[in-house]
Structure 1
Amino acid sequence: MATHRSRRLRKKLCVDEFQELGFELSFQYKEGQGDEAIAAFMKRFAANAVEPNDLVYSGCDEYGFICLARRGSVSAQQRELIDEWLRQQQELAGFNLGPLMDAWYPEQSVNPPVQ
């Protein structure tokens, strides 16, 4: 069923040219990391990687979702900055960054960038 929506409604629904992208993230910690060390890591992650890049992390200490702190989409460059920061962290045995995906409607495909 084709749907014709006004520009205003598309913006409110965050669809079509107003699609907002983010990505999923999961952490695997090295053996022996206690709750205090993980909590300290998460605070450092927020203060040094997420907030300075105008992003927001929603989730727990094992997995979550990162999106832009305002309306709009996470860029591939911002995703790379998070990837680079995480690669330098000694507490992690590994981590997984998902691809950029629709933050509001995860089942929708990502629209090509508007020129």
Structure 2
Amino acid sequence: MSALDAVSRRRISKLNPRQRKKLHVAEYQELGFDIHVTFKAPLDDAAMTAFINDTLDYADQRGWMLGGLGGHLPLTETSAFVCKAARGSLGEEDRDAFVAWFKARADVATATADALVDVWHGWLE
């Protein structure tokens, strides 16, 4: 444990529940993940639009929100950050389900997801 972790824990322990909720820390922490997808063949404009629409429909059905996707045409790879649309955290099962959904697609060569990270603090590290 670093000195910063000890200071952070001490600081968080002094916050009341309302403050912890507002700052999205402790029991109010929310987790998300990055997903990376490569395609079997480069996607043109129509194929990219269909891929993005399918992905957004799947995420919307599960109550998720995506940041990213797309890129320069022809599209050979893309990535996105995934989190809950409402309050709450995604879990390992959500991450695994999204990777499996991508791998089941005929146009996807590989799909990987990074570890769960805090959506509000430190996800750019």
TM-score, normalising length: structure 1: 0.83
1:58 aligns with 2:74: no
Which structure is higher in strand share?
A: 2
Q: Which residue of 2 aligns with 1:112?
A: none
Q: Which residue of 2 aligns with 1:73?
A: 89
Superposed structure 1 runs of 4+ greater than 6 Å apart:
none
Maintained 8 Å contact 1:56/1:69: yes
Maintained 8 Å contact 1:55/1:69: yes
Partner residue of 2:46 out of 27, 33, 36 = 36
Maintained 8 Å contact 2:103/2:109: no
Q: Which residue of 1 aligns with 2:28?
A: 18
Find the structure with the greater CA-based Rg: 2
- 2-side partners of 1:80 and 1:42: how far apart? 19
TM-score, normalising length: structure 2: 0.77
Amino acid at match of 1:31: A
**Length, aligned pairs only:** 106
Which 5+ residue runs of structure 2 have no aligned equivalent?
Answer: 1-6, 71-77
1:84 aligns with 2:100: yes
User: Equivalent residue of 1:22, what SS?
Assistant: strand
1:36-95 Cα deviation digits (max 9, x unpaired): 211211101111x21111111111221111001100101222222212211111111212
Which 5+ residue runs of structure 1 have no aligned equivalent?
Answer: 108-115
